[in-house]
Amino acid sequence: MDKISVIVPCFNEEEVLPLFYKEVVHTLEKIQNIDYEILFINDGSQDHSEDILKLLAHKNKHCFYYSFSRNFGKEAAMYAGLENASGDYVVIMDADLQHPPYLLESMYQALKYEDYDCCAGKRIDRIGENKLRNFYKVIQYLTKMDMDDGAGDFRMMTRQMVDAILELKEYNRYMKGMFSFVGFNTKWLEFHNVERQGGKTKWSFKSLFSYAFKGIFSFSSTPITIAGVIGGILIGISLITSLYSSFVHPISYLTSLVLFLSGIQLIFVSILGQYCSSCYFEAKQRPIYIIKNTNKKLRS
Ligand code: UDP
Ligand code: MG
């Protein structure tokens, strides 16, 4: 019998967890001939999420929770889920029911009978979405990775694909890039986006912005190449202007040129700094997450 593991990162989701549990268990129990487990990864919630998860785990032997010692972020929560899932097929879903549970059965069929390694949900509209998500187009261009705006983390994967992702042990994690990096055949299932069924989004403008940059710096060195090209162009321009300004009055030109070049230099020092800080964090080899409490034996 095949086993499906459902990974659910949760951060302050007390309002939606009971409804999520009801809908997902109902859907999973309708799929014929499967066993399932639901792994709730409680990412340092400050509300009553952990109490609710303890109750659910007590009520249903297929439910497990892992509570982190603090908030490590959704990337860390997904990684913890993948490391501890024991299913033949593993799916990642948000707790707020924005990822429709009714797709689970079609995802399973695609992997089991159509020879796909991954079946992913793709939003076809953007209700309740932040406009900053247009950043995916920039990330896709810079990283040359196939990352669609509507394509989130909602997907079911085979054990083989999960094991391939677990081989990527880096500290600076960017799951959308990793799905694309490991490859494998993906089937896309479109769905209409809905508002979250309770609680609030955990993404502020600032956190979306830094997540977008994390995506660029973990999967691309194009910004450094761009820095070199712009540096070359500026040297060319400064040669031309210095020749020109030796005939015309030089002072005003020089002041603005120096200011402009200092600005450009600071930007590129900051780009280099981003890569250095990524290396620094990788070199420390700190754990990606720390589990404080669980009702399941840890796999590793
Ligand atoms: N989440 C998490 N840790 C965080 C932020 C979010 O585990 O630090 C979880 C959250 O509980 C939800 C999922 O990640 O299950 C997606 O978060 P959210 O719905 O806020 O994001 P959005 O749908 O707005 O992209
Ligand atoms: Mg959401």
43 lines ligand 1 (CB under 6 A): yes
153 lines ligand 1 (CB under 6 A): no
10 lines ligand 1 (CB under 6 A): yes
- pTM of the predicted structure, to 2 decimals: 0.81
List the chain pLDDT tens, one digit each, 300 residues.
899 999 999 999 999 999 999 999 999 999 989 999 999 999 999 999 999 999 999 999 999 999 999 999 999 999 999 999 999 999 999 999 999 999 999 999 999 999 899 999 988 876 556 555 666 667 666 766 665 555 689 999 999 999 999 999 888 888 888 898 898 999 999 888 887 777 778 777 777 777 777 777 777 777 888 888 888 888 788 778 777 777 766 556 676 678 778 878 888 888 888 888 888 888 888 899 999 999 886 655
- Residue of the CA atom closest to atom 13 of ligand 1: 94
Sheet holding 63-68, edge to edge: 186-191, 118-123, 151-158, 89-92, 2-10, 34-42, 63-68, 291-294
13 lines ligand 1 (CB under 6 A): yes
The ligand 1 atom at the shortest distance from the C-alpha of residue 77 is 7
- Residue of the CA atom closest to atom 22 of ligand 1: 201
Beta strands in 11-87 (DSSP E): 34-42, 63-68
How confident is the model at residue 18, as a pLDDT?
95
CA distances from 257 to 103, 229, 232, 246 (A): 57, 18, 15, 14
